[in-house]
Amino acid sequence: MGAVGQGMELALAEARAAAGRGEVPVGAVVLGPDGAVLARAGNRTEEMFDPSAHAELLALRAAAAAMGSPRLPGCTLVVTLEPCAMCAAAMALFRVDRLIFGAYDPKGGGVEHGARVFETQGGLHRPEVIGGVREREAADLLRDFFRQLR
């Protein structure tokens, strides 16, 4: 299993842990330029009483702290769900080189759906985007979580 495969496996583990805490099951991992894991996180919006405590933002912030830089050139963000517009805009600001995500999000996504942040005129930064990696597994986590809430 390569670095990206390992990253998605860890992101899925973070998503499962988030579900166990009663959070929407989304997990994220930041891989450094060498493929090493810099940071990993799951959603913590309920726990932190913070609607911006998405897995992506938490992982990006931790990776930036680990690198000692506000920018993450050469880094890859691996996340279980297509990022929302807020998280996509943050990725542009962090200058992440590559985004890999699992499930598509037609309602709340901001990359392939909705705002399509990276396609806007005058966009700050546009990472390489690969969607649908282990899509079914990531989507099943979300579906099962929301089914249990009903």
Q: How many CB atoms are closer than 10 A to CB 26?
A: 32
Cβ(126)–Cβ(118) below 8 Å: yes
Lookup: tokens for 12? 């899925």
Q: Which residues are CB-neighbours of 103 under 8 A, at least 6 positions away?
A: 80, 81, 82, 135, 138, 139, 142
Q: Which of helix, strand or coil describes residue 146?
A: helix
The residue annotated as part of the active site, out of 56, 119, 128, 135, is 56
- Between CA 131 and CA 101 the distance in angstroms is 5
- Between CA 92 and CA 82 the distance in angstroms is 15
- Closest alpha carbon to 59 in 87, 85, 81: 87
Which amino acid is present at 18? Answer: A
Active site annotation includes 56 = yes
Active site positions, annotated: 56
